[in-house]
Structure 1
């Protein structure tokens, strides 16, 4: 049974001030009790930010993925959902596997910031009425994409773990755009030695070019040991 809108507290967790203010105004005009969380100016733990949100006693949380200094908002979804808060992710991110991750952790739905503002208002209305806000098949599809991404990342990690310390250093240099000649000069080894190391990297990562190896490392979010 729907609650009076004035009794429904909506907390907005968003680092884009103009977008947050637009949401706050639109929801306030609709009659909801709206609070906009002030994000910390310094990095903090997910627990600290979750505690700050829960102190507002929200019924619904509108949450962005990208929260400036805090980082990835997906870390907030599960602890908020576990205490019964309806979490709606509102994001500019278009990576559907990332959407699936939020859903897997308990978000009710994910909305794009490119959608009309009324879509967000409509979602809040439906949640207040106890109605579904995401088709079951769409939810399953997005979560499946996330699981596939996890398997791909695990496979990439297994490959990159095969690299020796020296090969990891060479890959790090390649990620910085350095040529074989530059790597050889800075490492005081022959170019033939570096080329042999690059060939070993390509073989272990199962790619055919330096560009592909660098792309794989970036996709994994791999951090090079090169200072």
Structure 2
């Protein structure tokens, strides 16, 4: 069967969820988005791994709680099959303890199942474009790093962290948090790409982290409840 050029340009998505109504409803809703093509549905971990090699998706919508495994335990297996695939975690419950664990294993974002279809589309497209995405309010479920994972979170008071950044650096990290690339940030702020790279590097140094994702998580903390971490 031949594949037309339009399909080649679509973001290929696999949905992994054992709730048939939710999965099929999601397929129906995403069918109205011309930039996205759902290429398969898996009800459990075994079906998910079979689909990974057969469909070669760009993004996997992965439920946390599956009949035969935890979604968080599938992340490593999915990444071994395709280390370029983006994983967007799904949960219909309070994700206490799962957000940080998912991200530390390589997930690219987190969606609540009661999100709007607009937000789901936004999340899919953002992680596909090498961004990160978290449903609003999920920063409350982020937990401080422990010795069992590799993410780095601030150990200083929120006010101290906020004051570390210049006004321009705040503008940059806000746009990084929205999933924009350096070229897009440069265009939005009217500066050149090298200047953006300079500011991003400064932000990483000030937060004591090594990746943009960690910087985004730190910034989420800074803008959350103001608790000491």
Cα offsets for 1:188-215 (capped at 9, x unmatched): xxxxxxxxxxxxxxxxxxxxxxxxxxxx
Distance 1:132 1:67, change over 3 A: closer
Whole-angstrom CA distance in 2 between matches of 1:96 and 1:117: 23
Paired position in structure 1 for 2:74: 76
Deviation at residue 15 of structure 1 after TM alignment: 0.5
- Alignment of 1:122 with 2:122, yes or no, is yes
Distance 1:141 1:99, change over 3 A: closer
Paired position in structure 1 for 2:40: 36
Distance 1:132 1:23, change over 3 A: same
- Contact (CA 8 Å) 1:24, 1:36: kept in 2 or not? no
Whole-angstrom CA distance in 2 between matches of 1:48 and 1:64: 13
Paired position in structure 2 for 1:110: 110
Query: Which structure dedicates a bigger proportion of its chain to helix?
Result: 1
When Rg is computed on C-alpha atoms for both structures, the one with the higher figure is 1
Distance 1:8 1:77, change over 3 A: same
Deviation at residue 48 of structure 1 after TM alignment: 7.2
- The 4+ residue runs of structure 1 with deviation greater than 3 A are 3-6, 46-49, 128-132, 138-141, 147-150
Whole-angstrom CA distance in 2 between matches of 1:149 and 1:95: 19
Unpaired segments ≥5 residues, structure 1:
41-45, 151-227
Deviation at residue 149 of structure 1 after TM alignment: 9.7
Whole-angstrom CA distance in 2 between matches of 1:140 and 1:87: 21
Whole-angstrom CA distance in 1 between matches of 2:147 and 2:32: 41
TM-score, normalising length from structure 1?
0.51
Paired position in structure 1 for 2:17: 14
Paired position in structure 2 for 1:85: 85
Distance 1:4 1:140, change over 3 A: farther
- Contact (CA 8 Å) 2:63, 2:90: kept in 1 or not? yes
Cα offsets for 1:153-187 (capped at 9, x unmatched): xxxxxxxxxxxxxxxxxxxxxxxxxxxxxxxxxxx
Distance 1:143 1:54, change over 3 A: farther
Distance 1:48 1:14, change over 3 A: closer
- Contact (CA 8 Å) 1:88, 1:111: kept in 2 or not? yes
TM-score, normalising length from structure 2?
0.51
Paired position in structure 2 for 1:52: 51
Could you say what secondary structure the match of 1:29 adopts? coil
- Contact (CA 8 Å) 2:64, 2:70: kept in 1 or not? yes
Cα offsets for 1:121-157 (capped at 9, x unmatched): 111122344444249xx77972526x3899xxxxxxx
11-20 vs 125-134, which moves further? 125-134
Distance 1:79 1:63, change over 3 A: same
Q: Paired residues, what number? A: 139
Deviation at residue 49 of structure 1 after TM alignment: 4.1
Whole-angstrom CA distance in 2 between matches of 1:38 and 1:61: 10
